[in-house]
Structure 1
Amino acid sequence: MSNIPETGRTPRVQIRLVAIQVLVFSLLLTLGGRLWYLQIRNGEEYTDEAKNNHVQQVVQPAVRGTILDARGVPLADNETRLVVSASRTELMKMKDDGKAVLARLAEVLDMKPKDVADKVRLCDSETPQPCWNGSPYQPIPVTDEATTQQALQIRERAEDFPGITAEPTAVRRYPAPGGSNTAQVLGYLSPVTDEEIKKAENTRSPLLRSDQIGRSGLERTYDSELRGKAGVTRYEVDNLGRVIGEANNDEAVPGAHVVTSIDARVQGVAEYQLNAAMEEARKQHDRNTNQNYKADAGAVVVMESKTGRVVAMASNPTYDPNAWVGGISGKDYAKLTGKDSNYPLLNRAIQGQAAPGSIFKVIPTTAAVNAGYDFNGRYPCPSSYSIGGQVFKNFESQGHGSISLGKALEVSCDTVYYALAHQQWQKDGGNKPKKNPADWFYKTAHQFGLGKETGIDLPNEVTGRVPDRKWKKDFWEANKDGWCKQGKKGGTYVELLAYENCLEGMKMRAGDSVNYSIGQGDTLVTPIQMATIYAAISNGGTMYNPSVGKAVISPDGKTVQEMKPKSHGKLPMDAKTRELIDEALEGVATRGTAAWRFGGWPQDKIPMHAKTGTAEVYGKQTTSWFATYTDDYTIVMTISQGGTGSGASGPFVRNIYDELYGLDKEGNQDLGRALLPKPQKELPKIEKDGSINAPLIKPYVPAKPEDENKQQIAVGRRD
């Protein structure tokens, strides 16, 4: 037993308890003070900093779907390239913000250090291209053209290139099978903009900053189907950009395949023959201007007559869509858009507008019948037609006596249409029009679908123009001030024209109606509009919306969404009138203005129908038009400043038909070499693994040219 009294132990224990209590109280007081400091004194500051801890996305782009021709041949696909990328997050951790690393990278890639640095800087309102407009947390591509040797250097010397990767990556490719460029039909890609991202936020196909989207052609029309869905990995990062955790991960879904009605072989032929026609035209002398034809632009459309599906569509001048892959250079962009480029980005098959000349005459022929004229009646075809002292001549001042409307189409007699249009103008009141004039010739043009889009599944189609009374009035109101300022009585032709337009530009004058009746004056059409019209005459009267897309097929081939042909109306003629016009157009190919281009054609096996046209344009050389059809196909070709219809375009349209049907110049058919004697019906098969057993296509080698005398442009024939 201890000898220490119990009362002596108590004060020490109490002292210890008091000390502990003081310590605990002090700690609580300190913590409370600290909490007050953090939450009250500096609460707003720390709240703002906490907001900077957020989720960042790293995107794995989806593999874009392929665009296939009707047999499964890729027109636009993807290829694996060695892409060198830089992680901006890693570079920013370095003392010099990665400048030394980027300089070493530039040396390996044979690039200028500034060019590499510009590639990885972030875009903003003050930063010009090149710059990166995607997420700063994902790798930024520096080049997609690295060589194997360059990639190996980067990977083997990883310590010299922190934050730099060199990986195989899928990038867009336009392979031009068999030489078929198809540029304006396919279109091209470019990076998405902030405005587009915002616009697509609440749609079924939202956009990410890393996305490339279609800017024209099929790439634009079917962008959402082709693009697929990008994979997204979400990281939690602090306000310094350091990753503090991974939120979740969505896997990428590849884009679907778009099957088109284009046949790459026929496309190659169409492009070649259009270019050959323009080159040949430039060799020919224009006696009106005393210089060779300029043939500065042209287009050709090959269409299935019974469905409106486009088998080939070529526009010249053209370009290489691969120039846009990986970002187009300033130099290449200037070549495609500069004043002297002649604008190759334009698809002149749907965006090129010109007066149609005599291929327009199927419309006033129909209008005359609808107005009560007998198709088989007799109509004078003199060498000229006079209105108030103004003489409108038949070409070469040639007369044909009294002929039917069918014969007028066959020999392309202008004066028959001059008289009909003048008579209708007079019936409508002439210079003092009735309150509700019939305007048969103008109304019928609208019923044929002119003056509006055809509905083709390509962007930026133009409408053309029907210069009816409403258009005349609107055009006068928009231009009268300029005309009145420029006009001068008794001045030059231009000054006199402006003077007359200033006074009476709102009126539908006799001369306007007369010129309009033969596809001249202010009338504008596009090749796709005229192809649609002639295909409808061929198929019995149905005007189909022209189409290029045929089906959308899922990456594994299991889901097929086929686009069926759609119609936007019927031709404004009864069956009898259509049959009579059909017979007349057959006569054009066998006896009329196109007959010299179809010598030896097997008319009994493959009935050919045609209409030639040459449009006069003030200040320019004539525009060549050639419209044709069989039971299977409709082909329309036009060449700006190219000369005559049958002369400039005729032989080259014939060459396209020969390749389609496997014909020689004597009309003998070899189905073994025929490219497409009947339109393609079956869709290509896509396997579960996404592979396509596409046929190989050899480059197009044209047959030996016709006799030189036949190939030349006939400068003495307009149609």
Structure 2
Amino acid sequence: MIRNRKIDKKFSRYTMFFIAMGIIFSAIISRLFYLQVIMGEEFKKKSTQKNYKNVSKAAPRGKILDKNGEVFATSIQSYTLMFTETTESKKSFLTTMDKVFKKLDKKGVAMVDEFAIAIDSSKEPKAEFNFKDTDNENRRWMELRFKKDRGIQSIAIKKLYPGKDEKDLSEEQLKNVDEELLNVSAEECLNELLKEYDLLDKDEYTLEEKRRLLVVLDAVKMQSYSGYKPVAIANNLSKEVAFIFEQLQPDLPGVSVETQPMRYYPNGDLGSAFLGYTSKIDSWQQEKYEEKGCDVSSDSVGKAGIESSFEDILKGTKGQESIEVNKQGRKVKTLGEVEAYPGKNIQLTIDKSLQKIAEKALDDTMANLQSKGRVNDVDSTNATRGAAVFMDIKTGKILALASRPGYDPNMFIGGSLSAEDSEKYFNPDLEKMGKEYIESRGLTSIPGVLSENEVATMSYEDKVNTMLNRMFPLNDSIDGNTKIREDSYDIFPKPFYNYATFTLIPPGSIFKPLTSIAGLEEGVITPYTSVYDDGKYNKRYSDYPGACWIYNTQHGSHGDTDVRKALEVSCNYFFYDVADRLFAKGGENSSGLNYLAKYAWKFGLGVEPGSNTKPSTGIEIAENFGQVYNYESSKNRFADEYINHVVNYLQTGTNSINTERHYKDIDITKKNETGTDKEKEAIKKINEKKTALVDDIKEEMKKEKKVKEEDILPKMQNLLKDLIESSDELRAKKYSDKDIENMAVAINYSIGDAIANRISGANAYDASIGQGMNYFTPLQLANYMATLVNGGNRYEMHLVDSIIDPVTGEKTEIEPKLLEHIDLTEEYVNAIKEGLQRAVFNDEGTAATAFHGFPISTGAKSGSSTFNQNKQDSLGRTSYATFLGFVPLDDPQIVSCIVVFDGGHGGNVGYVARAVYEQYFRDEILSTNPGYEFKYPDSRENSSKNQTNENTNDNLNKENTDGNDNN
């Protein structure tokens, strides 16, 4: 019995053990079955999402090369500090960023900062918007987009339409929301965002430090809309700094170092006028680039110049990489990869050695003019901006194109534009700069901007402030604006404005060869026709103020003058006479006034109104295109000019003829539609009446003949009455019928003035010497001279010589394109060339100053074109200095056009042309004259030394004259 009890006891222990084990294993197996079978797909999906990512790989951007293969722009591998938001990195974000920022500051590395709210710490910390654009409409659009993307719109909706959502609002209500949204200050926006990210009450941080944290957080949020992507904290890290952060990665959750292709411009600002730059996609262009497959949150695209015009060719095709990441979001390994295909290379027609000389010579010439100050009638202290164009006469290929001052495109790479540079280039303090400019030049004592009475009676402070508001007025298109001003008279240089392709200036005397060829080809003069210079030109109009420059300055005369001498000494009188003869040949009407235009259009100086001709030189980058004086275009110009006279007369209660017909003043200029909805509607109604009046007046001014007074006066009186009745303010002035009648009379007088002056031959006189309504770009002027001296072939101007596939080597060459051939009489062209040669090499020649001792025969015309006859002295400005030349004389190869704002006389800037000619013909000059002294050393000698080593990052990451020309 005892033995059986032992057996039962043993059996019981083992049984319990196996039962327990069975239960445990059953539970494990059940759980495994649930996890792997029942929930397997779900967990597999989550696991894949967490650990495996597909990321795009940027394609190296194509190179931009000069004609000889020298690099202007390239892509190199750069170290970039990235931040990836994960559960772990979010928890330790503040402490992580504290460490990151301390290291960046210690090494002097700037962080990527595309955030549009800056902190002005000059007095007390203050938030201000800082949008990187100088165009007011673009800035407005960017501000609205910035606020809407960040949910600030809800503030405006809550204020205007409580309880409603955006989807509930009408189109008109949404417009009201936009206007209200623009009233939300930068400080309000910043506080709203700081509150959203729980930074507002972090008193241990300064406002600047809070903003710095916000830059990263905001970038994470903006990028989150397009899926998994880290954000860049800093670009262009040196190897040393990159290695430091690699070592610190275990202590910096979410922070990693990556390499990626980065745009690089090894020559700094050289060629910035035609290169452009790359930067993040602007908010108003996001839809456009999304359609092209771009990632608008991170991709960079070309802005301006070749970078913009050839964006689709340069950008290449993105690759894709499948990667495994750890819980901190860092890549563990690559699982698969599709290589990116690099963009194609653009080879330009530009010669880098000539470009260097052109920019250096232009800078030196402007610096010399600034240092001279006032010499006789010219004050060139503001000669701070200019342009130079050099072109192959026989092909239209541009060899050098300079716009000064320039800018370094590298400063935009990867969002690294500093706050200081952003402020300097895109939001300059024109109030401070304007006051300094006015006071340093003593402009308050010069009538022009101020009336003589204001100069005599106002206090100094009032004069300064009045001039400031007239020269640099507040931008009234921005509601409530008290800071942003406009440079109305183009006083200060604008580095991002391409003076070579966009500047429209009166050419001055460099237009005279065109007048010469028109007169010769039309037969109103021959190469031997002699005209006696009588000083004042009053053959047809006794009150015409034009006279030869030698008469104005010395009461002298050029005596008997033919076309060769006229070009040599720049005799205005001779060209007035050519214009008068053309006017007479055309019947002293619009046909006679259009003779100069008929020839100018052939040479690319404008296009005939109403024709299908494209107004372009053909250049591949953005340009303006100016127009020569012509009768049809002058209708609008005279209407615009004389409507301003009408405004002034009506505001002062006067008219242009009868000083006794006075009346109560009235303002017919439109006002900004601001205020409450009711106030806006009232102003809008008044503006419509004013617009109707102004449009009707201008239409009368454009008519071929003046309408009878008995028809004009009743119509104008009715329009004036309608305007007065639409305004409580105007009705309160209690205008009498006599007041309204005299207003109509004043308008009628101005209509008559506009028509009489429009049909006057004096317009052709002004045009004949390059003044009046002639406005062209340096590009147009260079092409016109090339066409004249190459036998009448006008080529399309172009910068791109070929497009090259860097992988296959396939090369697509751009052939010269002939736009038009003009049949020119060789004898006439030779006479003009002889006159232009004299202008350079004879002692009396107006372009001779810069070319003494130059060993190659050349021809040129210099000019001095007035900026603003009545105001330029009081603005501290003077005439444009213009120079147009070609070389060599017998077989012209290069044409040059130089323009310096406020340079005074064209002879002052011929040095730029000479310097480039010397470089172009250097070998030829040395072969005949080994001891020749060049202005600048050979810019080809060190070109190879200046090229970047594209296989390293170290090169990218540096730790951190008197002239005598007149019109």
Q: 1:697 to 1:579 in 2, by over 3 A?
A: farther
2:901 to 617, 622, 640: 640
**Is 1:366 equivalent to 2:498 in the alignment?**
no
- What is the distance in 2 between the residues matched to 1:415 and 1:355? 19
1:66 aligned partner = 63
1:318 to 383, 406, 411: 406
- What is the distance in 2 between the residues matched to 1:217 and 1:529? 18
Contact 1:109/1:146, CA 8 A, preserved across alignment: no
Q: 1:486 to 1:262 in 2, by over 3 A?
A: same
Contact 2:509/2:966, CA 8 A, preserved across alignment: no
1:528 to 779, 783, 797: 779
1:415 aligned partner = 573
- What is the distance in 1 between the residues matched to 2:403 and 2:841? 29
1:34 aligned partner = none
1:444 aligned partner = 599
2:709 aligned partner = none
1:144 aligned partner = 235
- Map 1:653-692 onto structure 2 (within 5 A): 653-662=913-922, 669-670=929-930
2:619 aligned partner = 457
- Output one character per residue of 1:550-609: Cα deviation in whole Å (capped at 9) or x when no partner: 11111135211111122221246344433332333223223333344333333xxx4311
- Map 1:570-719 onto structure 2 (within 5 A): 570-571=821-822, 573-591=824-842, 592-602=845-855, 606-618=856-868, 619-620=871-872, 621-630=878-887, 631-646=892-907, 648-662=908-922, 669-670=929-930, 695-696=944-945, 712-714=961-963, 716-718=964-966
Task: Select the structure that is richer in strand.
Answer: 1
**Is 1:406 equivalent to 2:564 in the alignment?**
yes
Q: 1:622 to 1:194 in 2, by over 3 A?
A: closer
Q: CA deviation at 1:116?
A: 8.0
- What is the distance in 2 between the residues matched to 1:293 and 1:501? 38
**Is 1:395 equivalent to 2:655 in the alignment?**
no
2:425 aligned partner = 336
- Output one character per residue of 1:428-456: Cα deviation in whole Å (capped at 9) or x when no partner: 454xx36x657211221122111264434
- What is the distance in 2 between the residues matched to 1:517 and 1:120? 50
- What is the distance in 2 between the residues matched to 1:483 and 1:539? 45
Tell which deviates more after alignment, 281-290 or 294-303.
Answer: 281-290
- What is the distance in 2 between the residues matched to 1:586 and 1:116? 55
2:737 aligned partner = none
Question: What is the SS of the residue equivalent to 2:816?
Answer: coil
1:170 aligned partner = 261
1:102 to 92, 97, 102: 97
Q: CA deviation at 1:381?
A: 3.4
Question: What is the SS of the residue equivalent to 1:110?
Answer: helix
- Output one character per residue of 1:255-304: Cα deviation in whole Å (capped at 9) or x when no partner: 11111122222111111110111111123354565745421311111211
- AA of the residue aligned to 2:783: T
Q: 1:274 to 1:256 in 2, by over 3 A?
A: same
1:30 aligned partner = none
Structure 2 residue runs without a partner (length 5+): 1-45, 118-144, 151-188, 190-213, 434-491, 608-614, 658-745, 873-877, 948-960
- Output one character per residue of 1:359-387: Cα deviation in whole Å (capped at 9) or x when no partner: 10111112212332242242313123112
- What is the distance in 2 between the residues matched to 1:230 and 1:641? 48
Contact 2:859/2:885, CA 8 A, preserved across alignment: yes
Q: CA deviation at 1:490?
A: 7.2
Question: What is the SS of the residue equivalent to 2:635?
Answer: helix
Q: 1:290 to 1:269 in 2, by over 3 A?
A: closer
- What is the distance in 1 between the residues matched to 2:242 and 2:820? 58
- What is the distance in 1 between the residues matched to 2:109 and 2:369? 49
- What is the distance in 2 between the residues matched to 1:120 and 1:292? 38
- What is the distance in 2 between the residues matched to 1:279 and 1:117? 34
- AA of the residue aligned to 2:573: T
1:160 aligned partner = 251
Q: 1:671 to 1:634 in 2, by over 3 A?
A: farther
2:74 to 61, 77, 80: 77
Task: Select the structure that is richer in helix.
Answer: 2
Contact 1:378/1:402, CA 8 A, preserved across alignment: no
Runs of 4+ in 1 over 6 A off after TM superposition: 111-124, 234-237, 497-501, 663-667, 671-676
- Output one character per residue of 1:200-253: Cα deviation in whole Å (capped at 9) or x when no partner: 566xx643333211111111111111111111347999xxx999xx99854311
- AA of the residue aligned to 1:713: D
**Is 1:518 equivalent to 2:609 in the alignment?**
no
Tell which deviates more after alignment, 94-103 or 630-639.
Answer: 94-103
- What is the distance in 2 between the residues matched to 1:617 and 1:113? 45
Contact 1:366/1:572, CA 8 A, preserved across alignment: no
- What is the distance in 2 between the residues matched to 1:667 and 1:608? 19
- AA of the residue aligned to 2:233: V
Contact 2:528/2:562, CA 8 A, preserved across alignment: yes
Tell which deviates more after alignment, 150-159 or 620-629.
Answer: 150-159
- AA of the residue aligned to 2:272: A
Q: 1:216 to 1:590 in 2, by over 3 A?
A: same
Q: CA deviation at 1:625?
A: 1.1
- AA of the residue aligned to 2:364: A
- Output one character per residue of 1:139-190: Cα deviation in whole Å (capped at 9) or x when no partner: 21110143444323322233212322113333111111xx771111111111
- What is the distance in 1 between the residues matched to 2:68 and 2:276? 20
- What is the distance in 2 between the residues matched to 1:559 and 1:442? 44
- What is the distance in 1 between the residues matched to 2:63 and 2:109? 35
- What is the distance in 1 between the residues matched to 2:376 and 2:618? 37
TM-score in terms of structure 1 length = 0.77
TM-score in terms of structure 2 length = 0.58
- What is the distance in 2 between the residues matched to 1:500 and 1:571? 44
- Map 1:494-573 onto structure 2 (within 5 A): 503-506=752-755, 507-556=758-807, 558-571=809-822, 573=824
**Is 1:187 equivalent to 2:276 in the alignment?**
yes
- What is the distance in 2 between the residues matched to 1:528 and 1:391? 31
Contact 2:518/2:595, CA 8 A, preserved across alignment: yes
Q: 1:475 to 1:137 in 2, by over 3 A?
A: same
Contact 2:111/2:235, CA 8 A, preserved across alignment: no
Q: 1:215 to 1:381 in 2, by over 3 A?
A: farther
- Map 1:242-257 onto structure 2 (within 5 A): 250-257=338-345
1:385 aligned partner = 537
Contact 1:81/1:171, CA 8 A, preserved across alignment: yes
- What is the distance in 1 between the residues matched to 2:573 and 2:587? 21
- What is the distance in 1 between the residues matched to 2:794 and 2:113? 55
Q: CA deviation at 1:56?
A: 8.0
Contact 1:189/1:213, CA 8 A, preserved across alignment: yes
- What is the distance in 2 between the residues matched to 1:668 and 1:499? 70
Q: CA deviation at 1:354?
A: 1.1
Question: Taking every aligned residue pair, what percent have the same amino acid on both sides?
Answer: 25
**CA RMSD in angstroms, aligned pairs only:** 4.3
Q: 1:234 to 1:151 in 2, by over 3 A?
A: closer
- Output one character per residue of 1:661-719: Cα deviation in whole Å (capped at 9) or x when no partner: 2289999544999999xxx9xxxxxxxxxxxx984469xxxxxxxxxxxxx313x5427
- Alignment size in residue pairs: 623
- AA of the residue aligned to 2:245: I
Question: What is the SS of the residue equivalent to 1:300?
Answer: strand
- What is the distance in 1 between the residues matched to 2:305 and 2:931? 33
- Output one character per residue of 1:414-472: Cα deviation in whole Å (capped at 9) or x when no partner: 11111221233345454xx36x6572112211221112644343432001232322222
